[in-house]
Copies of this chain bind each other. A is one copy, B any other.
Amino acid sequence: MSDPASKSIPEGTLAEVGEFAVIRALMSRLPQGDQVLIGPGDDAALVRAPGGSVALTTDVLVSGVHFRRDWASPYDIGRRAAAASLADVAAMGGRTTAIVVALTAPADLEVAWVLRMADGLCDESAEVGASLVGGDISRSTELAITVTAAGDLAGRAPVTRSGAQGGEVAAVCGRLGWAEAGLAVLSRGFGSPRALVAAYRRPEPPYASGPAAADAGASAMCDVSDGLIADFGHIARASGVGVDIDSSALSIAEPIRAVAAAYGVDPLDWVLEGGHDHALAATFPVDAVLPEGFVVVGRVTSSEGVRVDGSSREGPGGHEHF
């Protein structure tokens, strides 16, 4: 972890401080790991790719669509922005080595917001040993953060979405429904239960479980970003199989039950359809020894589609952004 408190933050807005001074302040806050051969400041960064290949994924978070500045601190928004891409690399069985970031922002945004957001990007990346190695910043009417992650598979075969086979087990690692419940709380103008709100503000994807699943022989894997039904649906479609989920295998935490009861919502909806926790959904051969943290929640079948307790359930196909 960096120690942001020890670094000075220029006072004022982006327009007042100026792009180049902002970039200098940013660069002083970017710790660089061993895998970085050339860090920020040149035409491009250079990062080791010991496995001989590089995993690439990009995610854009737009203010008012993916986050709200009044719902989370810039630091937590940075952590969540990085988490979305880091979790994608983990879902291939890899580990992120570096991220690059493009920020578009209104000229009246406080520089302190940008630097604290960058601290969040760096600290979340540090969870997997990755560094923020480069970026770009531009004026815009709208605040948006694009994080691109590059990852290494350390020689492992990638775990795609298309390898699931009938008869295998379907398993999940990480939280389900927590962040979605937290979002529901925030959407109604509340700030507690704090555990749920915190889960939304700063997800804790099980990054190490992605490579562990690959090592354990996972046949298919997917980051749960659209919701468990939708994401097992992605695996099912790509693999030409089906997935039967047994809802009794899904633990529903007490705060989720309590809030769902208060709002008159079925808590299972959040668990089955919420995507903001960035859990991992995977399939394994029946004889595989599942890595710590994975829980069997169903079966892979030869009959296409995703069913919950035997009934077809069309989850949202993912967040339609238009």
Contact = CB atoms under 8 A, between A and B. Distances in A.
Contact of A44 (B57, B136, B142): B57
Interface stretch (A2-10, A58-66, A294-302, A305-313): A58-66
Contacts of A158: 37-38, 42, 46
Interface string A1-31: 0000000000001110011101000000000
B136 A59 contact: yes
Interface in A112-161: 133-142, 144, 146, 148-151, 153, 158, 160-161
Contacts of A146: 58, 60, 102, 136, 146, 148
B44 A138 contact: no
Given A54-B49, A54-B150, A102-B146, A44 B89 contact: yes
A43 B92 contact: yes
Contacts of A18: 320, 322
A88 interface: yes
Which of A136, A137, A141 is the most central at the interface, judged by chain B CB atoms within 10 Å of its CB? Answer: A136
Contact of A58 (B19, B135, B141, B142): B135
| Stoichiometry (number of copies) | 2
Contact of A91 (B44, B60, B222): B44
A56 B102 contact: no
A255 to B, nearest CB: 29
Given A54-B54, A60-B104, A43 B161 contact: yes
A284 B47 CA distance: 25
Contacts of A43: 57, 87-89, 91-92, 161, 221-223
A158 B65 CA distance: 39
Interface stretch (A93-101, A166-174, A178-186, A243-251): A93-101
Interface string A34-46: 0001100111111
A60 to B, nearest CB: 4
A82 interface: no
Contact of A140 (B49, B54, B62): B62
A52 B55 contact: no
A224 to B, nearest CB: 10
Interface in A50-92: 50-62, 65-66, 87-89, 91-92
B60 A321 contact: no
B149 A44 contact: yes
A317 B149 CA distance: 29
A257 interface: no
A66 to B, nearest CB: 7
A240 to B, nearest CB: 14
Nearest to A144: B104
